[in-house]
Amino acid sequence: MRNPPNESDRPAPEAPGAPGLPAPDAPESREEPGAPGKPADFDREALARFKREKTLRIGSLELKNPFVLAPMAGLTNRPYRVLAAEFGAALVFSEMASAVALSRRGKGTLRLLENDKGEGSCPFGVQLFGKDPRTMAEAAKVAVFERGADLIDLNFACPARKVVRSGHGAALLKDPGLARSISGAVVKAVPVPVTVKTRPDFAPPPEGTDPLVLTLGKELEEEGIAAITLHPRHATQAFGGVADWSLVERLAASVGIPVIGSGDIDGPVTALKRLLNHGATFAMLGRATRGRPWLFGECLELYRGAERAGPASEPESGSRPTPGEKLPKTLALRLRTGVRHAELLRDYLGEKAVFPLRTILTWYTRDLPGAAAFRNRIVRESDIGRQLEILAEALSFERVAESLRERQCGNPENDPAG
């Protein structure tokens, strides 16, 4: 059974170097942490207060920092999770998995839950969707006892039509009693923390009326839910408009369990500001990590007191890089990470990895000169080694710098879009 799209992010397909390449999107971020050499702008006193007052714990699970990888359909397979953990994610999630398929031990669904417990790994959460309390409880047992899940997350948030039509995901916001029953059944079934991901309400409530989550949150806490992730858009909004983080703040003030904020986090400064200004204990990062898994490392640098997110991020601070910026390090980071991602995916899928790599490798060249031409070449390749050679060529500092110089001289053929 193919799992439907996860609400966390719109779905997309998915070290030491490969042969002939050095050892080990373009970011989606539009945030501007400052020009190179300029300190990032956020309240450092608030950061010190956050560290004093917040306990980075979900139930019995203690996390090393407040930055969490979102569950994303078609994306957060084992290779993606390993990369996120290597760059510092405190908790990673599987793709959204069907409780029905998992309770029947469907081969494809079990594969979604393959987990890396090696050195440098971090806690692993499994996100489930379903509408029957007994089935959800059985699926949670399989995830914990047969796949080693450290945490179970219940999806009450996915707005995808086929998910809602079948009574799953955000449809459960129309039946809070069932959502509560599911939560209680799963909490009783497994010895690990159980969390919920939700939206404020299925549709915007009448003016002057509080969204459902402010009452449902308290009820879920009573059922033993250890934390709530809130994507602060109503389900009918899907991903439209702007995430209303004031709702995260209101939820955090109304419950005694941690709140994980999700939505519109596009870079390290935004992540810190969301945490410090809206009451959340954890920040969930999703689409912005595609082709930029080092975003977790950038967040950690700021969290630990650095003045800026580090030179790797500076040329990507909202404007096109110029030859005078620290481009070599940025390009080297993209290449090392792209190669690492490819090798992890090849270990996971074998030679079939060539197909998702046609999409994944383009993430690492986005916003650079010639990105469209690279995309056209990579989609025709059926050999992983050759794909990585093309990536190395696309990320050549001399080629990129020359293209930028020509663009500055007014050559329209060197538009960074291709």
DSSP 155: E
Specify the long-range contacts of residues 355-361, CB closer than 8 Å, at least 24 apart: 355/13, 356/13, 356/14, 357/384, 357/387, 358/387, 359/12, 359/13, 359/14, 360/13, 360/14, 360/291, 361/387, 361/388, 361/391
The catalytic position among 122, 158, 299, 409 is: 158
Largest CA distance in the chain: 67
Token look-up 């920092």 returns: 65
Dist CA 157 CA 260 (whole Å): 14
Alpha carbons 68 and 283: distance in angstroms, whole number: 6
Mention every residue, 6+ apart, whose C-beta is less than 8 A from residue 372. 417, 418
**Cβ of 261: how many Cβ atoms within 10 Å?**
29
SS3 content of the chain, % helix, strand, coil (to 5): 45, 10, 45
End-to-end CA distance of the chain: 38
| φ, ψ for residue 179, nearest 5 deg | -60, -40
Distance of CA 160 to the CA centre of its chain: 18
Backbone angles phi, psi at 336, to 5 degrees: -60, -45
- Asked about 158 being catalytic, the answer comes back as yes
* CA contacts within 13 A on the Cβ side of 349: 21
Give dist(CA 8, CA 343) in Å, integer. Answer: 26
Give the tokens for residue 416: 């960074």
User: What is the distance between the alpha carbons of residues 315 and 327, in angstroms, rounded to a whole number?
Assistant: 7
* Tally of CA atoms within 13 A in the half-sphere of 227 that contains its CB: 27
- In 63-150 the beta strands, taken as DSSP E runs, fall at 67-69, 92-93, 97-98, 124-129
> Over 176-210, what HEC string results?
HHHHHHHHHHHHHHCCCCEEEEECCCCCCCCCCCC
Active site residues: 158
